[in-house]
Structure 1
Amino acid sequence: MTIKTTAKRISVGVAALALAGTAFVGSAHAGNVSAKASSDCPSGWFCVWAGDDYKGQMQKVEGNNADLSRFTVFVHARSGFNNGKSCDVNLYGGKNYTDFLGTMKRGDKGPGPGHEVKILANKWVNCR
């Protein structure tokens, strides 16, 4: 599934997004920083921003996460970047890997201006 396809799903009421990460497995931790560009996302992480075009508050995670609801930026994400080193990422609109939104390939960015998405879980896949 492409970011364009995911953005279309969002526009018809699906409140989630698909973005990616790293080959890290197990419990993940999150960082929260103010960022102004997708290049601010560290290598090996999946990052989302509160604003369009990678502006505003940034939230980053590594590893699989069954519940991202405690991170405000994931609940109201407007930009995202899979800066993973070797994996794509499956994104889910529900906790515990439910409500599959799509897969974001390593290096992909999205969804685009004007689209708010809700990501409540992520799982790294297709690691090379």
Structure 2
Amino acid sequence: MADILALAVEKKMLRRILACLATFAFMSFLFPAVPSQAETNTRSGTDDCPLGYLCVWEHPNYQGRMYRFAGANASWAAWDINNKDSSWYNNGTEGMLACVWSGTNYQGSVKVIQHQTSSPSDSTHGDRGSSNSWAHFWC
């Protein structure tokens, strides 16, 4: 009798595991993984900035390559946009400020971009971005 109960419990656990794997496979299809924290795009204009991202362009007025940042990034050194950012758009989470820092590890001067606000150029902060973070009230 104990062997029958153990077998029933094992089958139940196997069904749960298979259900979890099927759910994971389905969710992976719906929400594919982002290949990296920063993605590039050569189109221009803020309409190309997807929801949930800080988008940064290498030239003023949203021209040139666009980099999309999700989450905080302590250093942009791995991407060509490091110290070459010229226009910005915060299409991140509602109520969140996008903070673009002149130094790595969120140091130095900061450019603050309100949610769903764009900045086509900025002589003070242009070509100085080296990291980004997000904040609710202040950077």
| 1:13-51 Cα shifts (integer Å, max 9, x gaps) | xxxxxxxxxxxxxxx711111111111111110011112
| CA shift for structure 1 position 102 | 3.4
Q: Secondary structure at the match of 2:81?
A: helix
Match of 2:39 in 1: 31
Q: Based on CA coordinates, which of the two structures has the bigger radius of gyration?
A: 2
Q: Given the two structures, how large is their TM-score scaled by the length of structure 2?
A: 0.64
Match of 1:110 in 2: 119
| 1:44-103 Cα shifts (integer Å, max 9, x gaps) | 100111122111111111001111122112421111101112211222111111103132
**Relative to 1, partners in 2 of residues 1:125 and 1:114: Cα closer, same or farther, differing over 3 Å?**
closer
**Relative to 1, partners in 2 of residues 1:99 and 1:111: Cα closer, same or farther, differing over 3 Å?**
farther
Equivalent residue pairs, number:
100
More helix by share: 2
More strand by share: 1
Q: Given the two structures, how large is their TM-score scaled by the length of structure 1?
A: 0.69
In structure 2, list runs of 5 or more residues that go unmatched.
1-35
The aligned amino acid for 1:126 is H
**CA–CA distance in structure 2, aligned partners of residues 30 and 90 of structure 1:** 15
**Is residue 2:125 matched to residue 1:122?**
no
* Percent identical residues: 24
| CA shift for structure 1 position 113 | 7.2
**CA–CA distance in structure 1, aligned partners of residues 61 and 120 of structure 2:** 9
Q: For 1:73, which of 62, 66, 81 is the aligned residue?
A: 81
